[in-house]
Structure 1
Amino acid sequence: MPKPTASTDRRQQLVEAAFDEIAANGFEGLRTRAVARAVGIDHSTVHHHFATKADLIAAVVDHAIAPFRTGKPLTGSPAEQLRDHLNLLVRLMRERPRLFIVLRELDLRATRDDNIRAILAERDNRWRDTTTTLFRQPGWHSDTDPEAAAELVIAAVKGASFAPDPDRAAAAIDELLRLLTPREERP
């Protein structure tokens, strides 16, 4: 693997600083001047790494969702695969709540901003497609609609991430999995 250059290091520093700004001040509080200051560069230099603020936001989204991709191959029944995925999300809610703060901020902004909506839609569609494919596999209730079930999972996870207590979020996600999983597949 090639060694990162100073430019890629600086780019990553800018992404992390923008992530921190959103986590601390919300999307509305994101200022490229503050991001540049956090990294120790002049604000005009930010545009050397990101042509537009939307490009910076897209990089922040990718940074925020990277921990959701484990890189491990999916194994087990479809219910076990979903359980593993949801358990990862619950663990991240507990260990890295700022991920969800940033993603919630971006989701809320997306309701008013076409550029942010497009950035998030691309990433959400990957999640939606993967989850729909999982629900198309045998092992679910016979009348499960794969597309609707995938939307339910996404809505439940996003909604649970608003819970101030990670244990409540975990309980809600566990209940979702229980409701979706046929009795013979439950642990």
Structure 2
Amino acid sequence: MTVPNLISIARLLAVPVLVWALIDGRAGLAFLIFIVAGISDAVDGAIARRFNQRSALGAYLDPIADKALLITIFVGLALLGDLPTWLAIAVVSRDLLIMAAVVLSFMMGRPITVRPLLVSKLTTLAQLLLAGFALAEPVLGLPLAVLVDVLIAVTALLTGLSAAAYLVEWLRHMASGEPPMHREDESR
């Protein structure tokens, strides 16, 4: 068990606290969890690289923790009416479709190697910015509605483009075995 893995596990354990904070109307705590999770994600990656603590477990734990937090934020904010429900469904569906493609490929004897696509990195950035600003708006009392609306449109567009790009990559892989499908996050 490495320090980066322990940090990733801590991020996973923060998910139920984040759910409670959102449901209980504790916007400040939800925003704080988001900020601490972002910092801890950067720290665990830096530790893994600097001290050569990369591991196979970490390669799975880190993106699972990140996705669990992002999905929790999108679903929670959609249920609270702070983000459109259709967007939360799109974000969650994209990730579920990617996971289903990986599992199906493995089950069919065509396992895939996953690496990040540029559009996927941009999608993740847009999702993080939207989540951050949507969580920050009630806490900081800033008029961020216009910025949040723009980020909703950008996130929706990039989520759709990313899903389509992964689908094309997966279909190519299944038809010819090349090129390999890409993954959200680089392994540590």
TM-score > 0.5, shorter chain as reference: no
**TM-score, structure 1 normalization:** 0.34
Q: TM-score, normalised by structure 2?
A: 0.34
| Greater RCO structure (CA 8 Å; 6+ sep) | 2
The structure having more radius of gyration, on CA atoms, is: 1
